[in-house]
Chain A
Amino acid sequence: AQRVTQPEKLLSVFKGAPVELKCNYSYSGSPELFWYVQYSRQRLQLLLRHISRESIKGFTADLNKGETSFHLKKPFAQEEDSAMYYCALKGDAGGTSYGKLTFGQGTILTVHP
């Protein structure tokens, strides 16, 4: 079974402070990890995925297979970063649904001025 855990439901920081949103996963195979962002219960937008090793809007995330983690980080938070963030996992289900995403419960990030 695949599982994604985001231990923090709420996270508050001040503008300019570093921010880290935690994500741990459980999966026996080779997962693909994603971070999605949702502003005001609108469309889910892909923020980044581990296979791309890209940095979007200043956010980065590194897959740590030893710790089964994929934490999202940004060195200097901005007010416009306030949103709901979801960590998601896609497993190599081997013939069934590759595309099924398992989401964590989400973390609401609030960046105060």
Chain B
Amino acid sequence: DSGVTQTPKHLITATGQRVTLRCSPRSGDLSVYWYQQSLDQGLQFLIQYYNGEERAKGNILERFSAQQFPDLHSELNLSSLELGDSALYFCASSVGLGSIGEKLFFGSGTQLSVL
């Protein structure tokens, strides 16, 4: 168990809908990262938050947004869902900004299926 908790484990929804994925980092970790794993794109970095502030952005669509709350949990909001958004979404956390030597710990992921 990495200590990173993601809910829900599975999510099935329809095109055009909006969903929210939740991540609780390990106790004491200030950074949260979101990754998308799909069959065609592989594992892609979406976004990082550090202590409530956006720190870095990757290949995140405009239809997607995220935030990190004062208790450090994070939510990834996906809207106007398309079939191609079906993927496994991972959250990871680290104690700091993720500098050299710092480990990232991954959650079990949320499997999103858009029908």
Q: Which residues of A contact B (CB under 8 A)?
A: 30, 32, 36, 41-46, 49, 51, 86, 90, 92-93, 96-106
- Whether B55 is near chain A, meaning CB under 8 Å from some CB there, is yes
Cβ-defined contact, A100 with B33, below 8 A: yes
Cβ-defined contact, B107 with A98, below 8 A: no
Cβ-defined contact, A99 with B104, below 8 A: yes
- Whether B101 is near chain A, meaning CB under 8 Å from some CB there, is yes
For residue B15, give the distance in angstroms from its CB to the closest CB of chain A: 23
**In the complex, what residues of B have CB within 8 A of residue A105's CB?**
42
Minimum CB distance partner of A43 in chain B: B108
Q: How far is the CA of A45 from the CA of B109 in the complex (A)?
A: 12
Cβ-defined contact, B100 with A97, below 8 A: no
Please give the number of chain B residues whose Cβ is less than 8 angstroms from any Cβ of chain A in the complex: 31
Cβ-defined contact, A98 with B109, below 8 A: no
Cβ-defined contact, A99 with B48, below 8 A: yes
> CB < 8 Å: which of B31, B44, B98, B111 contacts A90?
B98
**In the complex, what residues of A have CB within 8 A of residue B109's CB?**
41-43
Q: List 25 A-B contacts (CB under 8 A).
A: A30-B100, A41-B37, A41-B111, A42-B108, A43-B108, A43-B109, A44-B90, A44-B92, A44-B106, A46-B105, A49-B103, A51-B101, A86-B43, A92-B99, A97-B55, A99-B31, A99-B97, A100-B98, A101-B33, A101-B35, A102-B45, A103-B42, A103-B43, A104-B42, A106-B43
**In the complex, what residues of A have CB within 8 A of residue B84's CB?**
none
- Whether B71 is near chain A, meaning CB under 8 Å from some CB there, is no
Q: How far is the CA of A72 from the CA of B40 in the complex (A)?
A: 24
For residue B98, give the distance in angstroms from its CB to the closest CB of chain A: 2
Minimum CB distance partner of B97 in chain A: A98
Q: A43-B106, A44-B106, A106-B43 are in contact. Are A99 and B101 (CB under 8 A)?
A: no
**In the complex, what residues of B have CB within 8 A of residue A104's CB?**
42
